Structure 1
Amino acid sequence: MRHGRLRPLLILLVLLVLAWALGLFRYVSLAELEQHRRALAGFVADRPWTAGLLYVLAHAGIVALVIPVGPVLTMAGGFLFGRWLGLLLAVPAATLGASILFLAVRHALAQGTAQHAGPMLDRVRAGLKRDGFWYLLSIRLLPVIPYSVGSIAPALVGMRLRVFVAATAIGIIPGTAIFAGIGAGLDDIFARGDRPDLRVMLAPPTLFALLALAGLSLSAVWWRRRAS
């Protein structure tokens, strides 16, 4: 029974090892995008629906395998499909990938975590049950917190799937919009022989705006507790 619960997580781990062994990671980079940008743009122009579907599936799969190339994938979406369509494709793709990882971890580990939980984890679980949407929304809004952490931690405490999906989809919109916008301008950047400056996410104006949004979501938790 225990092995059955571990199966989804083990499948993800096997796929991750296989992708690493085959060297597939090296194809997800700005250098590869620059080298093949004409062929990729031509494919999107000829088969837009197929290209969009393949992009969503590839993006979701890479996110589920905890491969830390999310910004590159989002920029690729902005480059291939434009700022706004790239955003509309990247958000559900990243949410789907995060949900796959979330379900695999929750199915494999949440029950064992609950059985060995101490008083502190019990309090955390109670807080997440009541205000989990707002806490996760705050995490998703902050670019300095790894995306996989926001998928694994809620799974370990048994967060409900619909709450996880809603907070993830809404919370990643600002950061995804920024990277999709960068991607939309990649052709000009590549033509100049430059590389995009990914530090834009940590630039004071951008970081302040994201921190303000995260603060607003946490203030909702404070208000709910004050009103109750």
Structure 2
Amino acid sequence: MTPQEPPFSALRRWLPLALIVTGAVAGFVLFRDRLSFDTLAQNRETLLAFAAAHPVVTPALFMAAYLLIVAFSLPGATWATLTGGFLFGLFPGVFYNVTGATLGALALFLAVRQGFGRGLRARIDASDGRVRRLSDGIRANEVPMLLSMRLIPVVPFFVANLIPALLDVSARRFAWTTFVGILPGALVYTWIGAGLGAVFERGERPDLSVIFEPYVLGPILGLAALSLLPVLINRKRRP
């Protein structure tokens, strides 16, 4: 808290981030061993019965649970995506998965931006050197950079939520690029989840390495490269 900042203002600025951190710690302690394939396998009949009995409430509860998993950065987002496919099929399962993940990412983004982003951005703008040039480069190509961070699997989802928040990116731009950027990968995992019924009957585990198969990873990387094309064009146009 700076001397110029009233106590109530400081509390309002840091409270969302404090709630996120508290929820993350509590969730990790309580659910770190429960958000897994084994949990889904053991409760699959109960989940299917609940979804059949409550067709309207179940999608809302599922998206809310997915939101919390992402907002608190809990382990288990992959299994949540598979569950979405298992319960709702490829469509509308992929919509529920992407919506829940996007809302959770947005909640984390807003909490971090409110606590750190704007103050950090002001310090970066007042600075000089490599950090300022890197920040200016990202801001000049926000949409391509945001999309590529989502499309390229090597960028952790948590990191892709933090970087835009620290640079005070527009919330609207962050939300739609997240939704669009995670859609291809979510489509693959939702598709795997939609076929889990047969996997359960055989007593097997799903093969998640399919995301790294050339016929799957290739198009995703192609989309990532396409999203970065405006960055390359802008660089060539510079004198």
TM normalised by structure 1 equals 0.93
Question: How far apart, in 2, do the equivalents of 1:162 and 1:147 lie?
Answer: 18
Conservation of the 8 A alpha-carbon contact between 1:78 and 1:182:
yes
Conservation of the 8 A alpha-carbon contact between 2:72 and 2:108:
yes
User: Residue 29 of structure 1 aligns with which residue?
Assistant: 36
User: Residue 16 of structure 2 aligns with which residue?
Assistant: 8
User: Residue 120 of structure 2 aligns with which residue?
Assistant: 113
User: Residue 102 of structure 2 aligns with which residue?
Assistant: 95
Quote the offset at 1:173 in angstroms.
Answer: 0.6
Quote the offset at 1:59 in angstroms.
Answer: 0.2
Structure 1 regions of 5+ residues with no counterpart? Answer: none
Instruction: Verify: 1:139 aligned to 2:149, yes or no.
Output: yes
User: Residue 91 of structure 2 aligns with which residue?
Assistant: 84
Q: Indicate which of 42, 66, 70 corresponds to 1:63.
A: 70
Quote the offset at 1:2 in angstroms.
Answer: 3.6
Q: Indicate which of 176, 198, 221 corresponds to 1:166.
A: 176
Question: How far apart, in 2, do the equivalents of 1:166 and 1:125 lie?
Answer: 21
Deviation per residue, 1:149-179 (Å, 9 max, x gap): 1100111011111111111010011000000
Aligned partner letter, 1:20: F
User: Residue 214 of structure 2 aligns with which residue?
Assistant: 204
- How large is the RMSD of aligned CA atoms in angstroms? 1.6
Question: How far apart, in 2, do the equivalents of 1:223 and 1:187 lie?
Answer: 47
Question: How far apart, in 2, do the equivalents of 1:224 and 1:115 lie?
Answer: 26
Structure 2 regions of 5+ residues with no counterpart? Answer: 1-8
Quote the offset at 1:121 in angstroms.
Answer: 2.9
User: Residue 5 of structure 2 aligns with which residue?
Assistant: none
Aligned partner letter, 1:10: A
Aligned partner letter, 1:165: A
Question: How far apart, in 2, do the equivalents of 1:36 and 1:62 lie?
Answer: 18
Question: How far apart, in 2, do the equivalents of 1:57 and 1:46 lie?
Answer: 18
Deviation per residue, 1:29-52 (Å, 9 max, x gap): 111111110110011111111000
Quote the offset at 1:3 in angstroms.
Answer: 4.2
Conservation of the 8 A alpha-carbon contact between 1:128 and 1:135:
yes
Q: Indicate which of 17, 20, 28 corresponds to 2:25.
A: 17
Question: How far apart, in 2, do the equivalents of 1:203 and 1:40 lie?
Answer: 31
Question: How far apart, in 2, do the equivalents of 1:170 and 1:217 lie?
Answer: 11
Quote the offset at 1:16 in angstroms.
Answer: 1.6
User: Residue 217 of structure 1 aligns with which residue?
Assistant: 227
Flag the structure with larger Rg. 2
User: Number of residue pairs matched?
Assistant: 227
Aligned partner letter, 2:198: D
Deviation per residue, 1:40-80 (Å, 9 max, x gap): 00111111110000000000111000113221111100000
User: Residue 189 of structure 2 aligns with which residue?
Assistant: 179
Conservation of the 8 A alpha-carbon contact between 2:89 and 2:194:
yes
Question: How far apart, in 1, do the equivalents of 2:59 and 2:84 lie?
Answer: 9
Kindly, what percent of the aligned residue pairs are identical? 37
